């Protein structure tokens, strides 16, 4: 028995690490038993990240380890090494493109230390920090490959991934039966498969990659059942293969504890992006973050808030979750009882006086509560969330 990990094989030609991995698993000698394959999403700001920043791994039950290693060597040289140097297409054109630098690792009989997974999902990791494998191939990809098999699955979800026929790779459109998708979306355990706001499917990527669909579920049986139904549908194009992966998606593994802070300033920028200044740094609510942005815009100095998100740089938090703890009330000078004019302060702790009739009062302020747009936690809409983000409605703690 041992653990095999793979990462960074995205490219124009081969397109997707999950597909490369599927083909690799299909090629294994018949004496090797594949125990549930895993897909992990890693630190979203990693410099060398691939498109979805996903790495894959699997536990293998092996009788003849030498035979397996020989096979992996040959397979690596023939099918994976040629991917090296290809540039993967990105949906985000604003960052430097790194050529694919595939990596594969084999840990015989033990998994790498769990702390390496935590490190790789919550921060930038360098190649020198990767624990020593029993056998390893390639470069940068060894980071994700090792993190994938270091993961101990504290929290899990599942994803059924199907790949298109090779002659369809490179094309941007996909045929997945929308009626069946509506049915599987209504299964209690499936999630993020359809956007109810827009009435559109969320399971099919838009780019040229080999993936036909990725259908998520909270339990393995539902992932299998939903994947099977989608593939059996007449209006779904034929797939070259499919597998159910156990994943760290929707686990919040990328987040640390949430932070409470007091709002010092709220700055709404063009396009609706919003910067909340607090004593714990600047918290950013992006224009596409829906309710998070809406709540951020509503905030005023003095409000106490709690937030969670990632810090790509020190002192900056990209909000993924936000809630109001308490709102600083509206404060105005009192209205004069005689002539309904707004009174004016006479100086610190001197009370107020009516500018018209000179009536005095000791009350410096009248306060009215502000009603927040949301009573509790908010997060961005489905299509703007990270793969790792756990839906707040699951907070069954």
Instruction: Give min distance, CB of 367 to Zn ion, in A.
Output: 21
Burial class (CB in 10 A: 0-12, 13-18, 19+), 191: buried
The Cα–Cα gap between 20 and 254 comes to: 25
CB of 361 to Zn ion, least distance (A): 10
Closest CB to Zn ion among residues 260, 338: 338
Q: Which residues pair with 326 in a beta bridge?
A: 304
Which of 329, 355 has the CB closer to Zn ion?
Answer: 355
- Integer angstrom CA distances of residue 90 from 19, 35, 98, 203: 17, 31, 10, 18
Residue 347 backbone class (left: φ over 0; alpha: ψ -120 to 50; beta: rest): left
CB 22 within 8 A of CB 160: no
CB of 302 to Zn ion, least distance (A): 29
What is the closest distance, in whole angstroms, from the C-beta atom of residue 338 to Zn ion in the complex?
4
Q: Are strands 352-353 and 360-361 parallel, antiparallel or unpaired?
A: antiparallel
For Zn ion, the closer of residues 79 and 353 by Cβ is: 353
Q: What letter does residue 78 receive in the DSSP assignment? A: I
> In which residue are the tokens 């028995």 written?
1
Q: Answer yes or no: are the C-beta atoms of 161 and 247 closer than 8 Å.
A: no
Residue 394 and residue 257 in contact, taking contact as beta carbons nearer than 8 Å: no
CB of residue 335 to Zn ion, shortest distance in Å: 9
58, burial (CB in 10 Å: exposed 0-12, middle 13-18, buried 19+): buried
Helix (H, G, I), strand (E, B), or coil: what is residue 361? strand
Cβ of residue 332: shortest distance to Zn ion, in angstroms?
A: 15
At residue 165's C-alpha, the angle toward residues 164 and 169, to 5°, is: 70
The smaller minimum CB distance to Zn ion, of residues 322 and 336, is found at 336
Say how many C-beta atoms besides its own lie within 10 A of residue 221's C-beta. 11
- Residue 361 or residue 384: which is nearer to Zn ion going by CB? 361
Residues composing the chain? 397
Q: Is 127 or 339 the residue whose CB approaches Zn ion more closely? A: 339
Structure tokens that stand for 169 in this block:
């790779």
Residue with Cβ nearer Zn ion (258 or 361): 361
- Taking the least distance from each CB to Zn ion, the nearer of 87 and 357 is 357
Q: Which residues bind Zn ion (CB under 5 A)?
A: 336, 338-339, 354, 356-357, 359
Minimum CB–partner distance for residue 363 and Zn ion (Å): 14
CB of 331 to Zn ion, least distance (A): 20
């Amino acid at each position: 028995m041992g653990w095999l990990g793979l990462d960074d094989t995205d490219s124009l030609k081969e397109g997707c690490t999950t597909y490369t991995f599927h083909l690799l698993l299909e090629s294994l000698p018949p004496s090797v038993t594949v125990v549930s394959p895993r897909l992990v999403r890693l630190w979203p700001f990693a410099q060398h990240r691939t498109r979805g920043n996903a790495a894959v791994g699997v536990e293998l039950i092996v009788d003849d380890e030498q035979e397996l290693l020989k096979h992996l060597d040959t397979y690596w040289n023939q099918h994976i090494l040629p991917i090296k140097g290809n540039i993967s297409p990105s949906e985000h054109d604003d960052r430097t493109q790194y050529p694919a630098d595939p990596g594969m690792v084999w840990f015989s009989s033990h998994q790498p230390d769990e702390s390496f997974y935590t490190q790789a999902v919550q921060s930038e990791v360098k190649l020198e920090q990767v624990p020593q494998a029993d056998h390893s191939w390639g470069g940068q990809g060894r980071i994700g490959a090792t993190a994938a098999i270091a993961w101990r699955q504290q929290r899990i979800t599942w994803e059924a991934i199907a790949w298109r026929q090779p002659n369809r790779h490179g094309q941007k459109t996909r045929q997945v039966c929308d009626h069946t998708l509506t049915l599987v979306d209504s299964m209690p355990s499936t999630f993020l498969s359809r956007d109810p706001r827009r009435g559109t499917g969320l399971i099919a990527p838009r780019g040229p990659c080999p993936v036909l669909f990725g259908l998520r579920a909270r339990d393995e049986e539902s992932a299998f059942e939903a994947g099977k139904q989608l593939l059996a549908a007449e209006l779904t194009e034929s797939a070259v293969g499919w597998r159910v992966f156990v994943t760290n998606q929707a686990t919040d593994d990328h987040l640390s504890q949430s932070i409470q802070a007091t709002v010092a300033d709220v700055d709404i920028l063009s396009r609706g992006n919003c910067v909340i200044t607090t004593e714990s740094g600047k918290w950013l609510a992006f224009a596409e973050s829906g309710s998070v942005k809406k709540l951020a815009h509503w905030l005023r100095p003095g409000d106490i808030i709690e937030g969670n998100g990632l810090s790509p740089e020190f002192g900056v938090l990209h909000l993924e979750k936000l809630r109001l703890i308490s709102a600083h009330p509206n404060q105005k000078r009192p209205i004069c009882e005689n002539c309904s004019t707004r009174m004016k302060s006479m100086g610190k702790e001197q009370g107020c006086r009516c500018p018209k009739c000179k009536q005095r009062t000791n009350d410096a302020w009248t306060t009215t509560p502000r009603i927040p747009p949301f009573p509790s936690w908010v997060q961005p809409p489905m299509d703007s969330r990270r793969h790792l983000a756990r839906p707040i409605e699951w907070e069954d703690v």
